[in-house]
Chains A and B, each alone.
Chain A
Amino acid sequence: MLELRLVQGSLLKKVLDAIKDLVNDANFDCSSSGFSLQAMDSSHVALVALLLRAEGFELYRCDRNISMGMNLGNMAKMLRCAGNDDIITIKADDGSDTVTFMFESPTQDKISDFEMKLMDIDSEHLGIPDAEYQAIVRMPSAEFAKICKDLATIGDTVVISVTKEGVKFSTRGDTASANVVLRQNTTVDKPEDATVIEMTEPVSLTFALRYMNSFTKATPLSGTVTISLSSELPVVVEYKVAEMGYIRFYLAPKIEEDEDETKPEV
């Protein structure tokens, strides 16, 4: 028996909107510690890891570990039927091949049940090692989204370079090139507007903007985004989900064989 009651139902809606474009089908793994998901996109370039800790739910009952395969597109459609202020409860019986989403309006005068069939999905669970990243950039998520969107109009790839001076996003297309430099800035009114750069050594990596733009679909979840970079490692783009968890997107860098071609002049 599984029963998860999430008062802030809109979080789940946002989570689904953030990942449904990247991953079609995925297994949600429920254990006593929390509600998690790990999935790669179909081309195995990006990986999304979601964790919603049990403490974040008003009620979290998970008698045994259960893995529920769902089509994320369908799930997102279901959740779209929930109001933004609704309380969402996820229920699944042992041995059942369906999952039920229950939406309660804040005033408790409307209760909807949506039942969805589960799928058998062969999931490949990857072990993600803890790594020390050479550079960690925390910045406003909206800013990051805008940079990715802007650069995508010019080129296909973005080179993210972190130096002492700041973090630079650059791209180059057939007809134009662009650089966006952000300097560390902690003197702001609201902490989420700060740009904080922690760097042990300079790093520069190239990524497909297409994926970056897909990751920024998670922007509504959090005011800040954390980008962790290390050469030889996938970038991690992390959005916190309220206080209860996170969505982390991992993206394999592009291998730069010909630096001149992919890297805008510095």
Chain B
Amino acid sequence: MQMAPKETLGILQQIEALVSDKLQVVSYKWLSREFLVPSNAAKQLLHEFVETHGSAIEVIYTLSGWLKRNPSSYHVKLVSAPKLEEAKKEFDGNCSVQVYSVQACIPKDPGELWNAEFVQAEELFKQPAKDDNCLRNSRFCGILNSFVKRTVDGTDISAAASHPKGVEVSEPPKSNSTRQSITVPPPMPVKLPQRGLSVSPKSTNVINDVKTESTEEPASEPPAEKLKVTHDSTANKTKGQIVKDFVNGGSLANLWGRASAKSKPSTKAAEDNKLSSNSTEKGSSGDEAQDIKFKGASNGKGSKKRRVVFDYSDDECEDPVNLASPDLPKELSNQSFVSEKEDRAKLKGKESTEGSSNQLWGKDSSAVSNIADPKTSSEKIHGQMTGDARKDIITVPTAGSPKRRKVLNTRIDERGREVTEVVWEGEDAATNKDDRSTVKSGNNEEASTIKHSAPATKKSPAVGNTTLANPGGKAGNKKGGHKDPKQGNILSFFKKV
């Protein structure tokens, strides 16, 4: 369990970098999987980290023990450092106090606490089944006793469900394909291990405890726990199902809660969602918003299938690249664009403009009309653009001049997808090329973009590019982060002092 000091030091430094630079929540679980150290060692590391950097960071502690109140129940609670002492008083006698996670600040949304973990777990799950990763064999799990049995062939974990000791010393293995219990360090009975979750998927009493009682600090932690329990019993479920379970558990707000934190991106995202997939199921709008805002942040990496890349920050070009839901039904290729009448479109578009940013698309037609009506959509986009970009957009409505009409245009693009475009066809052939609304739909992937053109094509904010690739690696992304995957980062050359 003890690591060489040098190695430890390296990890501590990395923790510091993660916490202070990437603003990531570093929990012991994440740490354990990331650096392939036993979970108890990970906790020890975090503890050391807190001792050295305690003043500069925020710490979340895990308290576990028996509550004073009657009937006494075993309780696991996450508390922030300032509330630690107070929380300790609620426990009967000794309770174990361990560092759960360190972070730059206590996240407003408790869901962030396990966001990084979740992403990481997802990635581990995604690995081919034959790969024996640390999540599958729980090799870093700190729990080992007679009640914990990790069976080999994908069957449920069996344990003494109702035994209180079992509760104390058990942590559900994340998966149960194989086991390597030999490598797992034995738990210390007094210093209770991380979470007192019951091993048995059936024994919900403890879970309930967690759910109902530990709501004070991390409201979203219980769902997380629940999710993990779900993993136990549904180890062979696909991940999608698990995620779905999770979503149905009502914690969408936690999962994607940051969507509403800032209105701008979420509006944009909601709109884009509308535009791209006027059928995606409820709640998906926040997803993209999160991706926009946290692109490159802890939860962005590979966890979501959809992704929207925006660059609001620059004044020159705005290139929304929008890869919409892979699950999108194909029949929603907006077959009815052409038949849409201008006035109707306007009417509908207005409706949708008035709607809140979280509005979901009940009506396909209004989504279509929103695309179709340049005025409305430009207004909406206009609302989200900044600075001089705005001025340019105001000119966009000229695109809606009655002399032009929309034409449905279907073609197969270079990636073999069927692309349906709504093109503005007008007397001005030159603008025609740029001035179009594009709706792509294709095999398992629908991308949609609005091209707003108008005279000021270059500066038009929503100049879309429906391909995945960043258009030409345009160097216009100074502030937009790493749009260009080939662009190196100065931080990879110079170290912080």
- Using a CB–CB cutoff of 8 Å, the interface residues on chain A facing chain B are 40-47, 124-129, 156-157, 174, 206, 208-211, 214, 233-234, 250-257, 262
How many B residues, CB 8 Å from partner? 26
Q: Which of B277-285, B363-371, B471-479 sits within the interface?
A: B471-479
User: How many residue-residue contacts, CB under 8 A, span A and B?
Assistant: 86
10 nearest A-B residue pairs (beta carbon):
A210-B475, A252-B488, A126-B494, A208-B475, A156-B475, A254-B486, A127-B497, A42-B479, A125-B497, A252-B490
Q: Residue-by-residue, is B457-494 near A (CB-CB < 8 Å gives 1, otherwise 0)?
A: 00000000000000011111111111010111111111
Q: Among the listed A40, A127, A233, A252, which residue makes an inter-chain contact with B487, where contact means beta carbons less than 8 Å apart?
A: A252
Q: B473 and A156: CB pair below 8 A?
A: yes
In angstroms, Cα B143 to Cα A192, docked, is 72
Q: Which residues of B contact A250 (CB under 8 A)?
A: 490, 493-494
Nearest-neighbor residue (CB-CB) of B475 within chain A: A210
In angstroms, Cα B109 to Cα A124, docked, is 27
B21 at the interface (CB under 8 A from A): yes
- Tell me, rounded to whole Å, the shortest Cβ–Cβ distance linking A175 to chain B: 12
Q: Among the listed A45, A47, A214, A253, which residue makes an inter-chain contact with B494, where contact means beta carbons less than 8 Å apart?
A: A47
Nearest-neighbor residue (CB-CB) of B479 within chain A: A42
Q: Which residues of A contact B403 (CB under 8 A)?
A: none
Q: A255 and B488: CB pair below 8 A?
A: yes
In angstroms, Cα B273 to Cα A39, docked, is 37
Nearest-neighbor residue (CB-CB) of B494 within chain A: A126
Q: B489 and A252: CB pair below 8 A?
A: yes
B495 at the interface (CB under 8 A from A): yes
Nearest-neighbor residue (CB-CB) of B473 within chain A: A156
B415 at the interface (CB under 8 A from A): no
B69 at the interface (CB under 8 A from A): no
Q: A156 and B474: CB pair below 8 A?
A: yes
In angstroms, Cα B492 to Cα A205, docked, is 16
Q: B479 and A253: CB pair below 8 A?
A: no
Q: B490 and A47: CB pair below 8 A?
A: yes
Q: Chain B binding site: helix, strand, loop or mixed by DSSP?
A: loop
Q: Among the listed B475, B480, B486, B492, which residue makes an inter-chain contact with A211, where contact means beta carbons less than 8 Å apart?
A: B475
In angstroms, Cα B473 to Cα A255, docked, is 12
Q: A125 and B496: CB pair below 8 A?
A: yes
Q: A262 and B493: CB pair below 8 A?
A: no
Q: Among the listed A44, A129, A251, A257, which residue makes an inter-chain contact with B486, where contact means beta carbons less than 8 Å apart?
A: A257
Q: Which residues of B contact A206 (CB under 8 A)?
A: 486
In angstroms, Cα B230 to Cα A141, docked, is 65
Nearest-neighbor residue (CB-CB) of A24 within chain B: B479
In angstroms, Cα B491 to Cα A44, docked, is 7
Nearest-neighbor residue (CB-CB) of B481 within chain A: A43
Q: Which residues of A contact B479 (CB under 8 A)?
A: 41-43
In angstroms, Cα B489 to Cα A215, docked, is 17
Q: Among the listed A40, A41, A125, A210, which residue makes an inter-chain contact with B476, where contact means beta carbons less than 8 Å apart?
A: A210
In angstroms, Cα B491 to Cα A209, docked, is 19
In angstroms, Cα B495 to Cα A125, docked, is 9
In angstroms, Cα B313 to Cα A253, docked, is 22
Q: Among the listed B474, B481, B488, B491, which residue makes an inter-chain contact with A253, where contact means beta carbons less than 8 Å apart?
A: B488
Q: B478 and A43: CB pair below 8 A?
A: yes
In angstroms, Cα B478 to Cα A234, docked, is 17
Q: Among the listed B472, B487, B494, which residue makes an inter-chain contact with A254, where contact means beta carbons less than 8 Å apart?
A: B487
Q: Which residues of B contact A262 (CB under 8 A)?
A: 486
In angstroms, Cα B492 to Cα A249, docked, is 16
Q: A208 and B484: CB pair below 8 A?
A: yes
- Tell me, rounded to whole Å, the shortest Cβ–Cβ distance linking B109 to chain A: 22
Q: With A44-B491, A45-B489, A255-B486 known to touch, is A157 a contact of B473 (CB < 8 Å)? A: yes
Q: Which residues of A contact B487 (CB under 8 A)?
A: 43, 45, 208, 252, 254-255
- Tell me, rounded to whole Å, the shortest Cβ–Cβ distance linking B111 to chain A: 25
- Tell me, rounded to whole Å, the shortest Cβ–Cβ distance linking A102 to chain B: 32
In angstroms, Cα B473 to Cα A257, docked, is 13
Q: A127 and B488: CB pair below 8 A?
A: no
Q: With A42-B478, A43-B478, A262-B486 known to touch, is A252 a contact of B493 (CB < 8 Å)? A: yes
